[in-house]
Chains A and B, each alone.
Chain A
Amino acid sequence: MIAYVLRRLALAIPTLFGIVVLVFLLLHLAPGSPASAVGSGESGRRVSAAAREEMRRLYGLDRPLPERFARWIGRVARLDLGDSFVDRRPVSARIREALPATLALNGLALFFTLAIGIPIGVAAGGRPEGPFDRTSAIVLFALYSMPVFWAALLLQTLLSVKLGWLPLYGVSSDPPPTGLAGVADRLAHLALPVTCLTYASLAFFARLVRAGVVEARSQDYVTAALARGVSRRGALWRHAFRNALLPLITLLGLLLPGLLSGSVIVERIFAWPGLGRLYFDSILSRDYPVVLGLSLIGAVATLAATLAADLAYAFADPRVREGS
């Protein structure tokens, strides 16, 4: 097991280095940097002389490439992401402020993705081509093809504007009610953004669970369990699903970038003060330190999540950690 963990960690090092390099390349695309000195005639996308000067100072853009790169690596190694151009505060402080809102949104979305996606996938895969499988396939397919911003607009129109059941956007009412009413108010504000963030990953995940269960249920150990007199339900959940679950663990890490992508759109539409909105606002205001910092953190978090998922997989499946 320890050998496996070490090997897996060693494999992550070049990827981590690659991430740092890619963000460095991104920096050179930014207007005001050497790579984009030419082109861009539109005034809205030009940067002020002050910002250009700031970029030069911060990233040493007037230095030769190797020195610039060394400087960048040095900053990353010291976990120094610089200060925001917009309000002069450290990037890390701005990210820390926006993090809880995004964690709440994505945590709930992830929870509902699993809580709804797994039973649907198992029920559909338990009887392939049965009525439930056929119906759920159509619904999941429709959800999968539905652009998230369109779904958000329709839900807002129907549930907020026409029926008045849920608030249109924001985190809480102004002023926020206290006590139990305050909790209800918060939940009402969470409902639509969480729904929008959940449905797409739900469709994706339920289809994977279904495929895994369909494959597992035709295996000998399921037949053997049924022959021993295990109920159909028991064979499905305790035998087929548990084995189908294993490869899905490794996919959990890869759900993260998808959720973060969705967060940008959902937080924008619902005026949710999280990382997605911070990223989008920073793109528009050309706040490069925040853009680069968030890109770096998003990618590293994904790498960490994939790593954790792979280790969990090895922990759950002895064939992986002891095999070749």
Chain B
Amino acid sequence: MIRRLPGSGRIALAVVLLLWIVAAVSPFFRGRAAEIRLGERLQPPSLVHPFGTDDLGRDLAARVVVATPISLAIGLVAAAMSLAVGFGVGGAAGYLGGAADVVLSRVIEVVLCFPVLFLLLALAAFLPPSPATVVLAIGLTTWPADARYARAEILKAKSLDYARAAKAAGATPARILLRHLLPNALPPLLVSAAFGVSWAILAEAALSFLGVGLPAPAASWGGILSAAPAYIEEAWWIALFPGLALFATVSAYNLLAEGLRQATTNPE
């Protein structure tokens, strides 16, 4: 699969790996990220503080590094949840067909009618604040897109010869689903997953930026950015660097998804 990735996709994969390496070494920076030095507050980027310092004199570079595993992990888990719900509902609708399809398709349509951020904010603010709440809120609001996709994929695969042959040979529905349809749906699933992670990271950042994401002191990139508007006149670096990390991560996952799509749809 990696061999088939276009150049941009390989670069994106390298960036994603690099981000996870940063996440792995981030515990070493925890001390500096939490250390408050009021004498050094709001200092612009320098050799000592490459990203500058925040309003409490904490080193922004260390804070951005320490936030990496938080943003990445929440994105991954929330995307996995969204995929599981989406492929469950969409797959069932596509596979069962008939009345089940009609009902499940209506359910998907209902959730799609709501502005995602409306539901996301309501869930995140009304449930007790915790990482689990953030994951749950993202997973429960973003699944309809995955569901639509899964439904279309299963419908397409169901009519293909190998699925019909398996059915003619007397395979049980479960066997057809697990042994025939699922392996063939794997490449699109991977593409969905990569897009889903970038979406979930953005959603978490938006929630934390708005102040209803992770409870303090755990700060994701969005959480660090939430302090930026208050200091916009004097400390542009608080806005620039955490956002840059976010932008790089989201781009990398999007680019990876795009590359995976090309690699799986063009056999050449």
Contact = CB atoms under 8 A, between A and B. Distances in A.
A300 B222 CA distance: 31
A254 B254 CA distance: 21
A141 B251 contact: yes
Contact of A144 (B116, B240, B254): B254
Name which of A18, A39, A40, A147 has the most chain B CB atoms within 10 A of its CB.
Answer: A147
Contacts of B209: 149, 265
Contacts of B210: 264-265, 268, 280
Contacts of A248: none
A294 B206 contact: no
A295 B228 contact: no
Contacts of A147: 202, 205-206, 243, 246-247, 250
A148 B116 CA distance: 15
Contacts of B239: 150, 153-154, 157
A294 B115 CA distance: 10
A293 B225 CA distance: 30
Name which of A39, A141, A264 has the most chain B CB atoms within 10 A of its CB.
Answer: A264
Contact of B118 (A18, A45, A254, A298): A298
B122 interface: yes
A19 B110 contact: yes
Contact of A161 (B110, B128, B232, B258): B232
B121 A279 contact: yes
Contacts of B233: 161
Nearest to A260: B115
A303 interface: yes
A186 B94 CA distance: 50
A22 B121 contact: no
Interface in B112-155: 112-119, 121-123, 125-129
A166 interface: no
A168 B254 CA distance: 31
Given A45-B128, A154-B240, A291-B122, A298 B254 contact: no
Contact of A295 (B106, B119, B225): B119
B128 A42 contact: yes
A147 B222 CA distance: 10
Interface residues of B, number: 47
A171 interface: no
B193 interface: no
A150 B243 contact: yes
B228 A153 contact: yes
Contacts, number: 146
Interface of chain B, main secondary structure: helix
A150 B215 CA distance: 21
A39 B116 contact: no
A233 B22 CA distance: 50
A280 B112 CA distance: 20
A308 B113 CA distance: 14
Contacts of A298: 114-115, 118
A14 B225 CA distance: 41
B113 A15 contact: yes
A148 B122 CA distance: 20
Interface in B75-105: none
B212 interface: yes
A39 B132 CA distance: 13
A156 B238 CA distance: 13
A283 interface: yes
A204 to B, nearest CB: 12
B50 interface: no
Interface string B235-268: 0100110010011001100110010000000000
B113 A302 contact: yes
Interface string A48-88: 00000000000000000000000000000000000000000
B198 interface: yes
A222 B236 CA distance: 51
A211 interface: no
Q: Which 5 A-B pairs have the closest CB atoms?
A: A150-B243, A18-B110, A261-B117, A153-B239, A260-B115
27 contacts: A22-B111, A22-B114, A39-B127, A40-B127, A41-B128, A45-B125, A45-B128, A141-B251, A145-B251, A150-B239, A150-B246, A150-B247, A153-B229, A153-B239, A156-B232, A157-B232, A157-B236, A161-B236, A257-B112, A257-B115, A258-B116, A279-B118, A283-B212, A294-B118, A298-B115, A299-B110, A306-B113
